[in-house]
Chains A and B, each alone.
Chain A
Amino acid sequence: AQTVTQSQPEMSVQEAETVTLSCTYDTSESNYYLFWYKQPPSRQMILVIRQEAYKQQNATENRFSVNFQKAAKSFSLKISDSQLGDTAMYFCAFMKGGGGADGLTFGKGTHLIIQP
């Protein structure tokens, strides 16, 4: 079984600053995928970014990028030019590869607060 650990329960930064959220995972799988989901107060789960483990290149989506360190089993999320709308819970999640319906394994989340 795999585990996902987010060691920062809460973070607070000023608007326009850059913030990095940490995530580590443990797995014996070689084929897997990693995700960051955002959950605003509305509770809707919104995909932020996705990374294939077989790709060395770090994924980017506009202001969001990841630092994927496969050997260290680390998958951090960097948010540049943070905005008030980025205030939310952020969850790191793991999915085993192979095409099966294995579901996602989530970390406990990091509550990110963007201060005006």
Chain B
Amino acid sequence: NAGVTQTPKFRILKIGQSMTLQCTQDMNHNYMYWYRQDPGMGLKLIYYSVGAGITDKGEVPNGYNVSRSTTEDFPLRLELAAPSQTSVYFCATELAGEGETQYFGPGTRLLVL
């Protein structure tokens, strides 16, 4: 039972490049989330999904896109990377319900130069 896995662990991008951060879960959780953590800050919600085919914006969605074609996978796409997107990205899952615990992946550190 791997839980929540994220790839890659670390990536350097040049300004204007694009990439996809992968998130996969094997817990059969309905809800999935993407957060970013800037240095010295707490996590902020980028996008979330309540199930396959359903996604919605969080607090800081600009510059990102997501898709959810399966329960297991929730990739985050960065188009035209900018230095402001330098951050650590966390994927999280939650079994749908009232105030359920969120389980986090190990994070992807992204550096945009």
Contact of A91 among B42, B48, B56, B99 (CB under 8 A): B42
CB distance from A56 to the nearest CB of B (A): 16
> With A45-B104, A103-B58 in contact, is A98–B42 under 8 Å at CB?
no
Per the 8 Å Cβ criterion, residues 12-49 of A in contact with B are 32-33, 35, 42-45, 47
Q: Mark B81-95, 1 if CB is under 8 A from A, else 0.
A: 000000010101010
B residues within 8 A CB of A42? 106
Contact of A104 among B41, B43, B106, B107 (CB under 8 A): B43
B residues within 8 A CB of A107? 42
CB distance from A116 to the nearest CB of B (A): 26
For chain A, which range describes its interface: under 10, 10 to 19, 20 to 34, or 35 or more residues? 20 to 34
Determine if A44 and B45 form an interchain contact, defined as CB atoms under 8 angstroms apart. Answer: no
Interface residues of B: mostly helix, strand, loop or mixed?
strand
Determine if A47 and B58 form an interchain contact, defined as CB atoms under 8 angstroms apart. Answer: no
Determine if A109 and B88 form an interchain contact, defined as CB atoms under 8 angstroms apart. Answer: no
Nearest chain A residue, comparing its CB with the CB of B42: A106
> With A44-B106, A50-B101, A101-B96 in contact, is A4–B42 under 8 Å at CB?
yes
Per the 8 Å Cβ criterion, residues 76-108 of A in contact with B are 91, 93, 95, 97-101, 103-108
B residues within 8 A CB of A109? 40-42
CB distance from B86 to the nearest CB of A (A): 15
**B25 interface residue, CB < 8 Å from A?**
no
B residues within 8 A CB of A43? 88, 106-107, 109
A residues within 8 A CB of B58? 103
> With A99-B96, A101-B31, A101-B50 in contact, is A108–B41 under 8 Å at CB?
yes
> With A45-B104, A107-B42 in contact, is A101–B48 under 8 Å at CB?
yes
Question: Which positions in B face A, CB cutoff 8 Å?
Answer: 31, 33, 35, 40-45, 48-50, 56, 58-59, 88, 90, 92, 94, 96-99, 101-104, 106-107, 109
